[in-house]
Structure 1
Amino acid sequence: MDNIALIESFGDFKDEKGISKIDLMAIIEDSLKTLLRKRFDSDDHFDVIVNPDKGDFQIFLNKTIVEDEMSEDDDLEIEITEAKKIDPTFEVGEDFTMEIPVAQLGRRNILTLKQILATKLQEHNNAMLYDQFRDRIGEIVIGEIHHIRHKHVILLDDEGNEFILPKENQIPSDFFKKGENIRAIVETVDFKGSKPQIIISRTAPKFLEKLLELEIPEIQDGTIILKKAVRIPGEKAKIAVDAYDDRIDPVGACVGVKGSRIHGVVRELRNENIDVIQWSKNPEIMVKRALGNVTINKIDINEETNYALVYTPVEEISKVIGKQGQNIRLASWLSGYEIDVFREASEDDDVDLREFNDDIEQWILDEFKKVGLTTAKSVLDKDTASLLNMVDLEEETIDDVKRILKEEFED
């Protein structure tokens, strides 16, 4: 096999992987030197010349000219008589350079060279792939579902690059079919062995941010600033936006007429409910906006500890907290403040004793009703001594009832 044939045997690989001619030649040179080190323990006495224009290479061995019968290493030394056959002007001690045809390396070494070259080409491709996707961390990629496994899904993009979507990075309501195209962001790129592993995610807040950039031109061109996005994947999300120009309504621009602009994002996220609020530097305003459309009477802010105590009417508690605590959690993440709620009871706020029949036996409740005490506050307003004179109950029972009723009005 001559030099040209050896290079051309890797032509398909070069074309498929997009390796440039210059890079391929550098890899060939490195591979040849690796082989020479294996064969001769060192490549110090060799020169490798690769010609990217012609697509060939040459190997030259530099020997030292010695006196006849004084050669100790035929690979590195040549006797003067042999040297003068090439050039009569040679003298002992001079360097003698000769070209080594690839065929002279032997069939086994040529096969070894091909293996080394294939390995280095693969290493080069892996390094290129790693660098390419390290630069794309946080960007959206599109891949076709190739394999669906219990703990992850494997996708391939148009160039055959493999992405891994772990179960924990999937939206809970995600349901995939083989051959389906889906979007996600590049989360991490690391080497697993010698091969780069590209992990993608559909649950990261960054995925929501990038989807919004795609759907809302004003975010993409910088007219609207996406300050922060937080989410409970597949359930609920909150985003804070702002605008450099006070004449622009950033919330309206993001939502669109009848939610037209944000519908596409909601569908992509499996109907994740998205609240859009306007960012504020004022912590109190920011906390209030982050909690959404709820009645708040007062907010105590501690900026040193990033703590907010929110005072709200009893009937608003469930709205402030939200389903499974989602609203208050997201509001805390978005505002950067730990939020607690203080339930404020109005003077006329009271609870009928019938509401306590799960905690207090009915016959005990009936004793209070007999004397006109039908609400929790009507009982709590009386001291124990007065109640002992009014109802036929033991002091211990009365104390237990008052304890249960008090819990209803505590934080």
Structure 2
Amino acid sequence: MENLALIDSFSEFKDDKLIDRVTLMAILEDVFRNALKKKYGSDDNFDIIINPDKGDMEIWRNRVVVADGEVEDPNSEISLTEARKIERDFEVGEEVSEEVKLIQLGRRAILALRQNLISKIHEHDNTNLYKQFKDIIGDIYTAEVHHVRPKAVILVDDEGNEIVLPKEKQIPSDFFRKGDNVRGIIENVELKGNKPQIIMSRTSELFLEKLFEQEIPEVADGLITVKKVVRIPGEKAKVAVDSYDDRIDPVGACVGMKGSRIHGIVRELGNENIDVINYTTNTQLFITRALSPAKVSSIKIDENTNRADVFLKLEEVSKAIGRGGHNIKLAGLLTGFELDVIREGNPAEEEDVELSEFSDEIESWVIAEFAKIGLDTARSILNQDVNDLVRRTDLEEETVLEVMRILKEEFED
């Protein structure tokens, strides 16, 4: 048989694409049968014998011998005279098997056949790739940065598969260079035409949950259960954990001595502040724990509306709300309740003034900065440390000191 490039490439396809023998033979037979249909109108009377390991194949055409002048279908019938050119002793009614050389299909047909083969191989690869990654959606995966684009980072794994990490799935502090190893979860696999697009995420709550499973043995072993995770990626997260073994302290086990166990997770997430909380079915206690580090005085719950009034002393309000309102927002998401902060205190004993009352002396954007961290009254600011206020807001120390001077004058008057 002619040593065509098509045949030479059989073993190459098998080795490069890691296709098993049975699958490769099925693909090859399908491609050749399509070519035979185009050439002869039907492939029903053809036998195809393929040996992909040796890079060889045979095509045999089977026809019935009919009397001269009675051939109605040249593809399935052959005249007696033509049959006896192949073998002299053929008779009417017998079957003739004749080998078809690839070259007989024509040069164009061979080129089209090769292109069809490549297309089928790629289609098989894409189907397998789609199934492979569909099965690991929600699992942690590691890949290397191939190149960085404005709207996405393109990663490549050890098998050369391309994975996309979109900008919105990246932690705000993430910064990648070519060659960096990146961890995230496989969040989705989408078909773009016939090609699967694999999407990775580092902002998903599930990524944090899977990091706990990966980094903390008791979670991996099922001794500790992660009940719920909520996060503001790169800023703050709250993780509720539980253990069915009273001898295990779930929070202590997750955090580790001096934070040794959780440190790696925090570093992976760009120093995201992670609060690990003991889960409980006691709603009041769960809300109290969720608002840590603030100390809650009391809670009034309305189960019908899923709202809760949380009573706090004035000095605890800013802790409960947190920088940018992150703490109270995450506590609400974790517990499933809309939390309203109620300040405690006797107005007669401790007079206070809303910060908005000072709008003629303090610029509105400065008032807004304090409001972001839950400080909206004069005393709530005066009870804070200056350095702490500078750290928690985008205000300069000089601005904070000036605001405090204005507020102190109000109470001195």
Tell me whether the two structures share a fold, i.e. TM-score over 0.5.
yes
Query: What 5-or-longer segments of structure 1 have no aligned partner?
Result: 362-375, 377-411
8 A contact 2:309–2:340 mirrored in 1: yes
1:240-279 equivalence runs, <5 A: 240-279=240-279
Query: Larger Cα Rg: Structure 1 or Structure 2?
Result: 1
Cα distance in 2, alignment partners of residues 52 and 12 from structure 1: 10
1:296-375 equivalence runs, <5 A: 296-346=296-346, 349-351=349-351, 358=358
Partner residue in 2 for 1:141? 141
Moved more, 15-24 or 5-14: 5-14
1:91-115: CA deviations, max 9, x gaps? 34x5443332323323322222211
- CA drift at 1:78: 0.7
- CA drift at 1:227: 1.2
Partner secondary structure for residue 168 of structure 2: helix
Cα distance in 1, alignment partners of residues 54 and 195 from structure 2: 32
- CA drift at 1:351: 2.3
Partner residue in 1 for 2:282? 282
Partner residue in 2 for 1:164? 164
- CA drift at 1:206: 1.1
1:149-203: CA deviations, max 9, x gaps? 1111111111111111111011101111111111111111111122111110111
For 2:240, the aligned partner's letter is A
For 1:323, the aligned partner's letter is R
- TM-score when scaled to structure 2? 0.80
Cα distance in 1, alignment partners of residues 229 and 352 from structure 2: 43
1:322-372: CA deviations, max 9, x gaps? 1111111111221122222222333655226797862589xxxxxxxxxxx
Cα distance in 2, alignment partners of residues 313 and 353 from structure 1: 16
Partner residue in 1 for 2:197? 197
8 A contact 1:184–1:207 mirrored in 2: yes
Cα distance in 1, alignment partners of residues 352 and 158 from structure 2: 66
Partner residue in 2 for 1:101? 101
Cα distance in 1, alignment partners of residues 248 and 302 from structure 2: 31
- TM-score when scaled to structure 1? 0.81
Cα distance in 2, alignment partners of residues 272 and 181 from structure 1: 19
Partner secondary structure for residue 261 of structure 1: coil
Matched, 1:12 2:9: no
Matched, 1:38 2:38: yes
- CA drift at 1:291: 1.4
Cα distance in 1, alignment partners of residues 103 and 356 from structure 2: 97
Partner residue in 1 for 2:181? 181
Cα distance in 1, alignment partners of residues 164 and 352 from structure 2: 57
Cα distance in 2, alignment partners of residues 149 and 135 from structure 1: 28
Cα distance in 2, alignment partners of residues 240 and 87 from structure 1: 88
Partner secondary structure for residue 115 of structure 1: helix
For 2:301, the aligned partner's letter is I
Cα distance in 1, alignment partners of residues 267 and 331 from structure 2: 23
8 A contact 2:227–2:242 mirrored in 1: yes
Aligned length: 361
Partner secondary structure for residue 44 of structure 1: coil
Cα distance in 2, alignment partners of residues 252 and 201 from structure 1: 28
- CA drift at 1:131: 0.8
Structure 1 2/292 Cα, relative in aligned 2: closer, same or farther at 3 Å? farther
Structure 1 349/80 Cα, relative in aligned 2: closer, same or farther at 3 Å? farther
Moved more, 351-360 or 65-74: 351-360
CA RMSD of aligned residues (A): 2.5
Partner secondary structure for residue 143 of structure 1: strand
8 A contact 1:152–1:165 mirrored in 2: yes
Matched, 1:66 2:66: yes
Identity, in percent, stands at: 55
Partner residue in 2 for 1:206? 206
Cα distance in 2, alignment partners of residues 328 and 95 from structure 1: 85
Structure 1 98/255 Cα, relative in aligned 2: closer, same or farther at 3 Å? same
For 1:91, the aligned partner's letter is V
8 A contact 1:22–1:52 mirrored in 2: no
- CA drift at 1:213: 1.5
Partner residue in 2 for 1:238? 238
- CA drift at 1:262: 0.4
Partner residue in 1 for 2:24? 24
8 A contact 1:4–1:56 mirrored in 2: no
Partner secondary structure for residue 316 of structure 2: helix
Structure 1 41/84 Cα, relative in aligned 2: closer, same or farther at 3 Å? closer
Structure 1 354/332 Cα, relative in aligned 2: closer, same or farther at 3 Å? closer
Structure 1 55/10 Cα, relative in aligned 2: closer, same or farther at 3 Å? closer
Partner residue in 2 for 1:387? none
Partner secondary structure for residue 308 of structure 1: strand
Matched, 1:88 2:89: yes
Partner secondary structure for residue 165 of structure 1: strand
For 2:69, the aligned partner's letter is E
List 4+ stretches of structure 1 deviating above 6 A. Answer: 353-357
